[in-house]
Structure 1
């Protein structure tokens, strides 16, 4: 018997999948429990249409993420911070700071998607990885520069 799963069923499949099960298992357990429904031709067609639409949307998001990744890799972002002796920072540059600088340039990234071992504590150029989509990452070129004295008083 062919059924369409409404929810994930362990060792059987995910919600929306069309699976073949024994008649008794489908009729006496899965359907009465609300875990599945009978797979008619119309419902199978609906499921396949939804899957194709979902795949198209996913591919569009992947292409948009790839375009953003290419643009991000071409730019260098600059953060001005207070610095002391030997190019050491007062404090550090966090993912939140990076997110804000990138957002000012018109890119929408989430700070949780920025991969950093630890916060940046030195002046200079740094390259960071940002995960934009499942398999799309971008390199962000970040230059940490000392803040000018007149900027500090503002």
Structure 2
């Protein structure tokens, strides 16, 4: 019997998937507990519609991420910091500081968790920073730490 799962079932599959199970298992376990519905035309059509919608949303997110990466690529972000003698900063420049400066410069929010720093920025100068906008979509920019 073909069923469409309404919830994740450990031994069968994930929610909104179409599976072939034995008749007894479907009638005695899955259907009474509300874990699945019989795969009639309406249920199969609903699964296909949800799959198409999720593909469309993923494509939109990817396009938005690529547009943001294009905006961020090659940007030069200047961050002002205080330092003591010898050019060593009081504290360090963090991904939070870089994200705030990028958000202000580009006009779109940039998550601080997506900024990859090679190490702590504790001196004045220019640093290459990578921003992982989306899986497999990255942008490289330069951070200038100034007095």
Residues 30-69 of structure 1 show CA distances to partners (whole Å, capped at 9, x for unaligned) of 1112211111111111110111111011101101101111
Please give the alpha-carbon distance, in whole angstroms, between the structure 1 residues aligned to 2:142 and 2:119. 16
Is the counterpart of residue 131 in structure 1 residue 132 in structure 2? yes
Please give the alpha-carbon distance, in whole angstroms, between the structure 1 residues aligned to 2:141 and 2:9. 41
Q: TM-score, with normalisation over the residues of structure 2?
A: 0.91
Stretches of 4+ aligned residues off by more than 6 angstroms: none
Q: Name 2:29's counterpart in structure 1.
A: 29
123-132 or 44-53, larger mean C-alpha shift = 123-132
**Secondary structure of 1:74's match?**
coil
How far did 1:118 drift?
4.3
RMSD: 1.4
Please give the alpha-carbon distance, in whole angstroms, between the structure 2 residues aligned to 1:117 and 1:74. 17
How far did 1:119 drift?
3.4
**Secondary structure of 2:73's match?**
helix
Q: Name 1:13's counterpart in structure 2.
A: 13
How far did 1:140 drift?
2.7
**Secondary structure of 1:70's match?**
helix
Q: TM-score, with normalisation over the residues of structure 1?
A: 0.87
Q: 1:114·1:128 contact (CA, 8 Å) conserved in 2?
A: yes
For structure 2, list consecutive stretches of 5 or more residues without a partner in the other structure.
none
Q: Name 2:73's counterpart in structure 1.
A: 73
Aligned length: 146
How far did 1:134 drift?
2.6
Q: Name 1:88's counterpart in structure 2.
A: 88
